[in-house]
Amino acid sequence: MTDADLIDWLDAHALALDTGTTASAGLLPRLAAAGLLARGVAVAQGGAGGDLGDAVEAVALLARHSLTAAWVLTCQHSFIGLLLAASNIGLREYLLPALLEGTQAGCVPGLGMPGPISAALQAHDTGRGWRLQGELPEVSNLMRDGHLLAAPAVFEGSPSLVLLSSDQDGLHKAPWADLPAARGACTANVAVTQVYFREDELLHGDAQALADALRPTWLALQAGLGLGLAEAALLAVSQAAREAGEPPSRALASQQAAVAQARRGLLDGLRLVRAFTPAGPLLRWREHNAELASTGVALEAAGAHHRGEPRCAQALRRQREAQWLAERWLPRSLSSMDA
Protein backbone atom coordinates (compact mmCIF):
# COMPACT_ATOMS: atom_id res chain seq x y z
CA MET A 1 0.00 0.00 0.00
CA THR A 2 1.29 3.46 -0.91
CA ASP A 3 0.83 6.68 1.04
CA ALA A 4 -1.72 7.71 -1.61
CA ASP A 5 -3.74 4.51 -1.11
CA LEU A 6 -3.72 5.05 2.65
CA ILE A 7 -4.79 8.69 2.29
CA ASP A 8 -7.69 7.67 0.04
CA TRP A 9 -8.81 5.13 2.66
CA LEU A 10 -8.48 7.66 5.49
CA ASP A 11 -10.45 10.30 3.60
CA ALA A 12 -13.23 7.75 3.08
CA HIS A 13 -13.22 6.60 6.73
CA ALA A 14 -12.21 9.72 8.67
CA LEU A 15 -15.70 10.35 10.02
CA ALA A 16 -16.18 6.72 11.02
CA LEU A 17 -12.80 6.71 12.78
CA ASP A 18 -13.68 9.92 14.59
CA THR A 19 -17.10 8.88 15.89
CA GLY A 20 -16.78 5.16 16.62
CA THR A 21 -14.56 2.08 16.79
CA THR A 22 -15.98 0.04 13.90
CA ALA A 23 -13.48 1.21 11.25
CA SER A 24 -10.44 0.96 13.54
CA ALA A 25 -10.00 -2.80 13.09
CA GLY A 26 -8.14 -2.38 9.82
CA LEU A 27 -6.21 0.74 10.76
CA LEU A 28 -2.91 -0.58 12.16
CA PRO A 29 -2.35 -3.11 9.34
CA ARG A 30 -2.89 -0.30 6.82
CA LEU A 31 -0.41 1.95 8.61
CA ALA A 32 2.08 -0.91 8.52
CA ALA A 33 1.44 -1.66 4.84
CA ALA A 34 2.19 1.99 4.01
CA GLY A 35 5.47 1.70 5.94
CA LEU A 36 4.53 4.27 8.59
CA LEU A 37 5.07 2.06 11.64
CA ALA A 38 8.65 1.39 10.53
CA ARG A 39 9.66 5.03 9.94
CA GLY A 40 12.26 6.20 12.38
CA VAL A 41 13.05 2.62 13.47
CA ALA A 42 16.55 1.37 12.67
CA VAL A 43 16.90 -1.09 9.79
CA ALA A 44 18.78 -3.43 12.12
CA GLN A 45 15.65 -3.57 14.29
CA GLY A 46 13.38 -4.39 11.36
CA GLY A 47 12.41 -0.80 10.58
CA ALA A 48 12.81 1.44 7.56
CA GLY A 49 15.50 3.66 9.06
CA GLY A 50 15.32 7.41 9.30
CA ASP A 51 15.07 9.57 12.39
CA LEU A 52 12.50 10.93 14.82
CA GLY A 53 11.75 13.75 12.40
CA ASP A 54 10.58 11.19 9.83
CA ALA A 55 8.21 9.67 12.39
CA VAL A 56 6.84 13.10 13.34
CA GLU A 57 6.30 13.94 9.66
CA ALA A 58 4.31 10.70 9.33
CA VAL A 59 2.12 11.71 12.29
CA ALA A 60 1.53 15.17 10.79
CA LEU A 61 0.70 13.60 7.40
CA LEU A 62 -2.01 11.43 8.96
CA ALA A 63 -3.35 14.28 11.12
CA ARG A 64 -4.10 16.22 7.94
CA HIS A 65 -6.66 13.51 7.10
CA SER A 66 -7.61 11.84 10.38
CA LEU A 67 -6.49 12.76 13.88
CA THR A 68 -7.61 9.31 15.03
CA ALA A 69 -5.16 7.61 12.67
CA ALA A 70 -2.40 10.00 13.70
CA TRP A 71 -3.03 9.31 17.39
CA VAL A 72 -2.98 5.55 16.84
CA LEU A 73 0.34 5.91 14.99
CA THR A 74 1.66 8.01 17.89
CA CYS A 75 0.64 5.36 20.42
CA GLN A 76 2.08 2.50 18.39
CA HIS A 77 5.35 4.28 17.65
CA SER A 78 5.69 5.28 21.32
CA PHE A 79 5.31 1.67 22.43
CA ILE A 80 7.81 0.47 19.82
CA GLY A 81 10.32 3.07 21.01
CA LEU A 82 9.80 2.02 24.61
CA LEU A 83 10.37 -1.62 23.73
CA LEU A 84 13.58 -0.74 21.88
CA ALA A 85 14.88 1.25 24.87
CA ALA A 86 13.86 -1.25 27.56
CA SER A 87 16.37 -3.70 29.00
CA ASN A 88 14.40 -6.89 28.24
CA ILE A 89 16.01 -7.92 24.95
CA GLY A 90 14.12 -11.22 24.78
CA LEU A 91 10.72 -9.52 24.87
CA ARG A 92 11.89 -6.98 22.31
CA GLU A 93 12.95 -9.63 19.82
CA TYR A 94 9.77 -11.62 20.37
CA LEU A 95 7.25 -8.77 20.18
CA LEU A 96 8.75 -6.28 17.75
CA PRO A 97 7.85 -8.01 14.44
CA ALA A 98 4.12 -8.12 15.23
CA LEU A 99 4.16 -4.49 16.37
CA LEU A 100 5.85 -3.34 13.16
CA GLU A 101 3.44 -5.43 11.06
CA GLY A 102 0.45 -3.89 12.84
CA THR A 103 -0.94 -7.24 13.94
CA GLN A 104 -0.39 -6.33 17.60
CA ALA A 105 -1.21 -2.96 19.18
CA GLY A 106 0.93 -1.30 21.83
CA CYS A 107 -0.28 1.01 24.61
CA VAL A 108 1.70 3.29 26.93
CA PRO A 109 -0.72 4.67 29.55
CA GLY A 110 -0.05 8.29 30.48
CA LEU A 111 2.63 8.76 27.85
CA GLY A 112 4.25 12.17 27.80
CA MET A 113 3.03 13.27 31.22
CA PRO A 114 5.65 15.53 32.82
CA GLY A 115 7.15 14.98 36.25
CA PRO A 116 7.32 11.84 38.38
CA ILE A 117 5.23 8.97 37.07
CA SER A 118 2.41 7.71 39.24
CA ALA A 119 2.55 3.97 39.77
CA ALA A 120 -0.94 2.86 38.81
CA LEU A 121 -0.34 -0.76 39.80
CA GLN A 122 0.65 -2.36 43.08
CA ALA A 123 2.43 -5.73 43.16
CA HIS A 124 1.57 -8.11 45.98
CA ASP A 125 3.78 -11.05 46.90
CA THR A 126 1.55 -14.09 47.43
CA GLY A 127 4.42 -16.36 48.39
CA ARG A 128 3.96 -18.18 45.10
CA GLY A 129 4.54 -15.22 42.81
CA TRP A 130 3.37 -11.66 42.35
CA ARG A 131 -0.15 -10.39 41.62
CA LEU A 132 -0.81 -6.95 40.10
CA GLN A 133 -3.70 -4.74 41.13
CA GLY A 134 -4.81 -1.26 40.06
CA GLU A 135 -6.35 0.79 37.27
CA LEU A 136 -4.93 2.39 34.15
CA PRO A 137 -7.00 5.44 33.11
CA GLU A 138 -7.76 6.45 29.51
CA VAL A 139 -5.56 3.99 27.68
CA SER A 140 -5.61 4.37 23.87
CA ASN A 141 -4.90 1.85 21.10
CA LEU A 142 -6.80 -0.97 22.82
CA MET A 143 -7.44 -2.72 19.52
CA ARG A 144 -9.80 -5.69 19.62
CA ASP A 145 -7.40 -7.96 17.71
CA GLY A 146 -4.94 -7.83 20.62
CA HIS A 147 -2.93 -5.26 22.51
CA LEU A 148 0.01 -4.95 24.87
CA LEU A 149 0.34 -2.46 27.71
CA ALA A 150 3.48 -1.13 29.38
CA ALA A 151 2.60 -0.02 32.89
CA PRO A 152 4.55 1.04 36.00
CA ALA A 153 4.16 -1.19 39.02
CA VAL A 154 5.63 -1.05 42.52
CA PHE A 155 7.18 -4.24 43.81
CA GLU A 156 9.66 -2.94 46.35
CA GLY A 157 10.86 0.66 46.25
CA SER A 158 10.63 2.68 43.04
CA PRO A 159 8.32 1.57 40.22
CA SER A 160 9.37 -0.86 37.54
CA LEU A 161 7.85 -1.21 34.08
CA VAL A 162 5.87 -4.38 33.37
CA LEU A 163 4.24 -5.85 30.28
CA LEU A 164 0.56 -6.77 30.25
CA SER A 165 -1.29 -8.52 27.44
CA SER A 166 -4.97 -8.35 26.52
CA ASP A 167 -5.26 -12.14 26.70
CA GLN A 168 -4.30 -12.28 30.40
CA ASP A 169 -6.89 -13.16 33.02
CA GLY A 170 -7.73 -10.22 35.26
CA LEU A 171 -7.56 -7.43 32.67
CA HIS A 172 -10.95 -5.73 32.30
CA LYS A 173 -11.65 -2.95 29.81
CA ALA A 174 -14.32 -0.43 30.79
CA PRO A 175 -16.76 0.90 28.16
CA TRP A 176 -15.15 3.08 25.50
CA ALA A 177 -14.43 6.61 26.72
CA ASP A 178 -16.98 9.27 25.73
CA LEU A 179 -14.54 11.54 23.89
CA PRO A 180 -15.33 14.56 21.68
CA ALA A 181 -13.27 13.03 18.86
CA ALA A 182 -10.86 10.23 17.94
CA ARG A 183 -13.10 7.50 19.29
CA GLY A 184 -11.64 5.06 16.80
CA ALA A 185 -8.39 5.15 18.78
CA CYS A 186 -10.13 2.73 21.16
CA THR A 187 -9.64 4.52 24.47
CA ALA A 188 -10.90 3.18 27.80
CA ASN A 189 -9.95 2.65 31.42
CA VAL A 190 -8.37 -0.73 32.14
CA ALA A 191 -8.81 -2.44 35.50
CA VAL A 192 -6.03 -4.81 36.55
CA THR A 193 -7.38 -7.34 39.04
CA GLN A 194 -5.05 -9.90 40.57
CA VAL A 195 -3.13 -10.37 37.33
CA TYR A 196 -0.35 -12.93 37.71
CA PHE A 197 3.08 -11.47 36.97
CA ARG A 198 5.94 -13.51 35.58
CA GLU A 199 9.51 -12.27 35.95
CA ASP A 200 10.12 -12.54 32.20
CA GLU A 201 7.41 -9.85 31.73
CA LEU A 202 9.56 -7.20 33.43
CA LEU A 203 10.34 -4.67 30.70
CA HIS A 204 12.65 -2.39 32.68
CA GLY A 205 13.73 -2.12 36.29
CA ASP A 206 13.53 1.68 36.59
CA ALA A 207 10.30 2.98 35.07
CA GLN A 208 11.04 6.62 35.94
CA ALA A 209 14.44 6.65 34.24
CA LEU A 210 13.02 5.09 31.08
CA ALA A 211 10.06 7.49 30.99
CA ASP A 212 12.38 10.48 31.45
CA ALA A 213 14.59 9.29 28.60
CA LEU A 214 11.67 8.68 26.22
CA ARG A 215 9.46 11.65 27.10
CA PRO A 216 11.04 14.01 24.50
CA THR A 217 10.33 11.44 21.77
CA TRP A 218 6.72 11.01 22.87
CA LEU A 219 6.17 14.77 23.07
CA ALA A 220 7.66 15.29 19.60
CA LEU A 221 5.24 12.77 18.11
CA GLN A 222 2.34 14.45 19.90
CA ALA A 223 3.45 17.85 18.59
CA GLY A 224 2.94 16.45 15.09
CA LEU A 225 -0.79 16.03 15.75
CA GLY A 226 -1.55 19.73 16.07
CA LEU A 227 0.78 20.58 13.21
CA GLY A 228 -1.01 18.32 10.73
CA LEU A 229 -4.48 19.36 11.87
CA ALA A 230 -3.58 23.05 11.53
CA GLU A 231 -2.31 22.43 8.00
CA ALA A 232 -5.54 20.60 7.09
CA ALA A 233 -7.75 23.41 8.37
CA LEU A 234 -5.80 26.11 6.53
CA LEU A 235 -5.84 24.09 3.31
CA ALA A 236 -9.62 23.86 3.61
CA VAL A 237 -9.85 27.64 4.19
CA SER A 238 -7.71 28.32 1.13
CA GLN A 239 -9.72 25.96 -1.08
CA ALA A 240 -13.04 27.43 0.05
CA ALA A 241 -11.88 30.97 -0.67
CA ARG A 242 -10.60 29.97 -4.11
CA GLU A 243 -13.88 28.24 -4.98
CA ALA A 244 -15.79 31.34 -3.86
CA GLY A 245 -13.58 33.54 -6.03
CA GLU A 246 -12.20 35.37 -2.99
CA PRO A 247 -8.58 36.47 -2.54
CA PRO A 248 -6.68 34.95 0.38
CA SER A 249 -7.28 36.95 3.55
CA ARG A 250 -4.54 38.48 5.65
CA ALA A 251 -5.57 36.23 8.52
CA LEU A 252 -5.09 33.15 6.34
CA ALA A 253 -1.69 34.31 5.09
CA SER A 254 -0.59 35.07 8.64
CA GLN A 255 -1.63 31.64 9.90
CA GLN A 256 -0.06 29.86 6.93
CA ALA A 257 3.23 31.60 7.75
CA ALA A 258 2.94 30.66 11.42
CA VAL A 259 2.27 27.00 10.66
CA ALA A 260 5.11 26.83 8.13
CA GLN A 261 7.43 28.33 10.73
CA ALA A 262 6.26 25.81 13.31
CA ARG A 263 6.95 22.93 10.93
CA ARG A 264 10.46 24.19 10.24
CA GLY A 265 11.19 24.94 13.88
CA LEU A 266 10.02 21.57 15.16
CA LEU A 267 11.56 19.36 12.49
CA ASP A 268 14.83 21.28 12.19
CA GLY A 269 15.19 21.19 15.96
CA LEU A 270 14.60 17.43 16.08
CA ARG A 271 17.34 16.90 13.53
CA LEU A 272 19.91 18.82 15.55
CA VAL A 273 21.66 16.45 17.93
CA ARG A 274 20.34 16.88 21.48
CA ALA A 275 18.40 19.99 20.50
CA PHE A 276 15.38 18.86 22.48
CA THR A 277 16.93 16.51 25.01
CA PRO A 278 15.05 18.28 27.88
CA ALA A 279 11.31 17.76 27.61
CA GLY A 280 10.44 21.43 28.30
CA PRO A 281 10.83 22.81 24.74
CA LEU A 282 8.76 19.97 23.31
CA LEU A 283 6.00 20.53 25.84
CA ARG A 284 5.82 24.07 24.49
CA TRP A 285 5.86 22.84 20.87
CA ARG A 286 2.98 20.46 21.65
CA GLU A 287 0.97 23.31 23.19
CA HIS A 288 1.87 25.77 20.42
CA ASN A 289 0.82 23.39 17.66
CA ALA A 290 -2.46 22.60 19.45
CA GLU A 291 -3.10 26.35 19.56
CA LEU A 292 -2.38 26.58 15.82
CA ALA A 293 -4.92 23.82 15.20
CA SER A 294 -7.55 25.65 17.29
CA THR A 295 -6.90 28.88 15.40
CA GLY A 296 -7.03 27.10 12.05
CA VAL A 297 -10.42 25.49 12.65
CA ALA A 298 -11.77 28.78 14.04
CA LEU A 299 -10.67 30.50 10.81
CA GLU A 300 -12.36 27.76 8.81
CA ALA A 301 -15.61 28.27 10.78
CA ALA A 302 -15.43 32.06 10.39
CA GLY A 303 -15.02 31.77 6.62
CA ALA A 304 -18.07 29.54 6.31
CA HIS A 305 -20.11 31.91 8.47
CA HIS A 306 -19.00 34.91 6.39
CA ARG A 307 -20.19 33.22 3.20
CA GLY A 308 -23.42 32.04 4.82
CA GLU A 309 -22.50 28.41 4.17
CA PRO A 310 -23.18 25.46 6.48
CA ARG A 311 -20.03 23.75 7.64
CA CYS A 312 -19.44 20.36 6.06
CA ALA A 313 -19.05 17.17 8.06
CA GLN A 314 -15.27 17.19 7.60
CA ALA A 315 -15.00 20.75 8.94
CA LEU A 316 -17.05 19.78 11.98
CA ARG A 317 -14.79 16.77 12.44
CA ARG A 318 -11.72 19.00 12.40
CA GLN A 319 -13.32 21.21 15.04
CA ARG A 320 -13.95 18.19 17.27
CA GLU A 321 -10.36 17.07 16.73
CA ALA A 322 -9.03 20.50 17.72
CA GLN A 323 -11.20 20.37 20.83
CA TRP A 324 -9.75 16.93 21.64
CA LEU A 325 -6.23 18.37 21.47
CA ALA A 326 -7.14 21.48 23.42
CA GLU A 327 -8.73 19.56 26.27
CA ARG A 328 -5.55 17.55 26.72
CA TRP A 329 -2.75 19.96 26.08
CA LEU A 330 -3.87 23.56 26.36
CA PRO A 331 -4.40 25.61 29.53
CA ARG A 332 -8.02 25.47 30.61
CA SER A 333 -8.56 29.11 29.70
CA LEU A 334 -7.67 28.34 26.06
CA SER A 335 -9.35 24.95 25.68
CA SER A 336 -12.99 26.05 25.58
CA MET A 337 -14.29 26.01 22.00
CA ASP A 338 -17.73 26.77 20.62
CA ALA A 339 -19.55 23.81 19.19
Helix/strand/coil (H, E, C) string of the chain?
A: CCHHHHHHHHHHHHHHHHHCCHHHHHHHHHHHHCCCCCECCCHHHCCCECCHHHHHHHHHHHHCCCHHHHHHHHHHHHHHHHHHHCCCHHHHHHHHHHHHHCCCEEECCCCCCCCCCCCCEEEEECCCCEEEEEEEEEECCCCCCCEEEEEEEECCCCCEEEEEECCCCCEEECCCCCCCCCHHHCCEEEEEEEEEECHHHEEECCHHHHHHHHHHHHHHHHHHHHHHHHHHHHHHHHHHHHHCCCCCCHHHHHHHHHHHHHHHHHHHHHCCCCCCCCCHHHHHHHHHHHHHHHHHHHHHHHHHHHCCCCCCHHHHHHHHHHHHHHHHHCCHHHCCCCC
Give the pLDDT of residue 307: 65
Give the pLDDT of residue 324: 96
Q: What is the mean pLDDT of residues 119-137?
A: 89
CA dihedral 293, 297, 299, 303 (to 10 degrees): 160
Average pLDDT, the chain: 90
Give the pLDDT of residue 338: 41
Name the β-bridge partners of 161. 152, 204
Give the pLDDT of residue 274: 53
- 128 secondary structure, DSSP code: S
* Band of residue 133 on the pLDDT scale cut at 50, 70, 90: very high
Confidence check: pLDDT of 318 > 70? yes
Give the pLDDT of residue 65: 97
The pTM is what? Answer: 0.94
Cβ atoms 94, 256 nearer than 8 A: no
**DSSP assignment string, 200-211:** GGEEES-HHHHH
Give the pLDDT of residue 339: 37
Question: What is the architecture of the domain spanning 208-334?
Answer: Up-down Bundle (1.20)
Question: What is the architecture of the domain spanning 3-105?
Answer: Orthogonal Bundle (1.10)
Cβ atoms 60, 270 nearer than 8 A: no
Q: Which of 134, 132, 296 is nearest to 202 (CA)?
A: 132
Name the β-bridge partners of 172. 191
Residue ranges of the chain that CATH labels 2.40.110.10: 121-206
Q: What is the mean pLDDT of residues 264-285?
A: 79
**Superfamily name with CATH number, domain 121-206:** Butyryl-CoA Dehydrogenase, subunit A, domain 2 (2.40.110.10)
Q: Which of 52, 74, 54 is nearest to 63 (CA)?
A: 74
Residue ranges of the chain that CATH labels 1.10.540.10: 3-105
What is the C-alpha separation between 291 and 330, in angstroms, rounded? Answer: 7
Give the pLDDT of residue 275: 53
Which amino acid does the sequence have at 184? G
Confidence check: pLDDT of 241 > 90? no
